[in-house]
Amino acid sequence: MRIGGQVTAPALLHRVEPIYPEAAALAHLSGIVILEAVVSTDGCVESVRILRSRHLLLDKASENALLQWRYSPLILNGVPSSFVLTVTFNFSVQK
């Protein structure tokens, strides 16, 4: 992001929680998945990168959920701009 000028911060408009895969729950997989997402000028998540993996099943569920998130655009000096964010999902087995 460029520094300076007028900035209107993006707002999260639509959030989707990851679906805990049944196979992961049966295997008692838990832990934290950290992802980095690039949000386009129209507020859609256009790419996701796994920064901290727990297991392929949990990683994929996290990525699928994050790709559905929608934001109002980041406005920098009156111009919509893309931005990068970091998201953490915590999976825990319910007893």
- According to DSSP, the residues that pair with 37 across neighbouring strands are 48, 85
Tokens encoding 87: 């998201």
Given its phi and psi angles, is residue 90 left (phi above 0), alpha (psi -120 to 50 degrees) or beta?
A: beta
Q: How confident is the model at residue 21 (pLDDT cuts 50, 70, 90)?
A: very high
Q: State pTM to two decimals.
A: 0.88
67 vs 64: CA distance, rounded Å: 5
Could you give all domains of the chain from N- to C-terminal order, each with its CATH number?
A: 7-91 (3.30.2420.10)
Structure tokens at 31: 């832990």
pLDDT tens for 29-61 read 999 999 999 999 999 999 999 999 999 999 999
Q: How far apart are CA 50 and CA 33, in angstroms?
A: 8
